[in-house]
Structure 1
Amino acid sequence: MRHAHPLRPAVPEPTLTSDTHVPCREPGPADVPAIPAQKSSGAPYGLLPFNAAAPAGAVELLLACCHSRRWAERIAAHRPYPTTDALLAAAEEAGYDLAGADLDEALAAESSAPPHPDAPPAARTALRAAHAAYESRFGHAFVISLDGVRPGERLDAVLAGIRSRLGNEPEEERAVAADELRRLARSRLAFALAGGLTSTRGNL
């Protein structure tokens, strides 16, 4: 983001209590980012820098949270926001107004999170197969908010989610995916404002 304030070093990515809301790290190989950032952003973080940023910079940060340009431009256009909560509420509200093409654009930019390299080989194989089956059926990556899920339980939660949602009809699953994407976008934005969004996507 082109802004007069210099970038500050990125803070460690939180584990998860509410997808980015209350950082709380747990040691061990399963301690991985709870919120997969869609892509890196060089934007300054914090509400005040976001409010003061040039439009293109604010949109850049927002696109890293949800890759719908109309969604990002709408939120950026309504700055300044009085509080972080007001910004997050606006992001969530805008997510409910995604048109079909906007949702297609956002889902097309998502990618399936790989399993943690320390996961058992059988679990890694099962997850890859589940992702492949989902993408073959619905034409886009599986998206899920892991809000409140402990690091060691994420792989099982994703596998269970994919297997459950594979039985959905395409339009039903599209609605479920849109809801999960809204939750992810809100969480990613909160994480970005706290100085996160520094990696492309965390392992499960």
Structure 2
Amino acid sequence: MPAQTRTSPAPVLDGFNTAPADEAHRTLLACLRSLRWAHRIADHRPYPTLDALLAASDEAAYDLSPGDLAEALATESLPGLPEDAYGAAHMALNAAHAAYEARFGHAFVICLDGVPRQESLDYVLEGIRSRLTNDPEDERVVAAEELRRLARQRLAQLA
């Protein structure tokens, strides 16, 4: 049997395409907590391929309004630290995250897709520290892009 590719139909995608609307919305909201984004993607089913679904996800994420973005950010949290991370790393990350939330009013979001697990802590800390220097509007744009990437990664993992 040939392997599934991102451009060929997959059983999970078929299930998503034929699921009742409320089930599709729940699945999508687990990827990105924006009602508008979830409805837009669910309403345009069926998707012939995973690539088509991911493209629709990207397009819908690019169109998030400031309110949609705030809704999605409200339920996000920091990525988990590796189990073997030392206590000082937890303290540093918590302090940086608290400073970020105080400055921007929402959780720090970052997509770790493609980042080796052993480098994730440094990547997250570097990201928070560098983004703390952003002005709020620039950070809104960066956070929206990170949410788009997270939604894409989560959708791909479901399929």
TM-score, L = length of structure 1:
0.71
Equivalent residue for 1:77?
A: 43
- Within-5 A mapping of 1:147-186: 147-186=113-152
- Aligned CA RMSD, in angstroms, stands at 1.3
- Within-5 A mapping of 1:1-204: 46-193=12-159
Partner Cα distance (1:167, 1:91) in 2? 29
Partner Cα distance (1:108, 1:130) in 2? 18
Q: Give the number of the structure whose residues are more often helix, by fraction.
A: 2
Partner Cα distance (1:141, 1:101) in 2? 15
Partner Cα distance (2:107, 2:123) in 1? 16
TM-score, L = length of structure 2:
0.91
Deviations, residues 134-159 of structure 1 (Å, cap 9, x unaligned): 11111111101112110000000000
Equivalent residue for 1:196?
A: none
Partner Cα distance (1:154, 1:54) in 2? 37
Q: Gaps spanning 5+ residues in structure 2: where?
A: 1-5
- Deviation, structure 1 residue 77: 0.4
Aligned-pair identity in percent equals 63
- Deviation, structure 1 residue 109: 1.1
- Deviation, structure 1 residue 175: 0.5
Deviations, residues 107-131 of structure 1 (Å, cap 9, x unaligned): 1111123423321111111111111
RCO higher in 1 or 2 (8 Å CA, sep ≥ 6)? 1
Letter matched to residue 30 of structure 2: A
Q: Gaps spanning 5+ residues in structure 1: where?
A: 1-20, 22-44, 194-204
Letter matched to residue 51 of structure 1: N
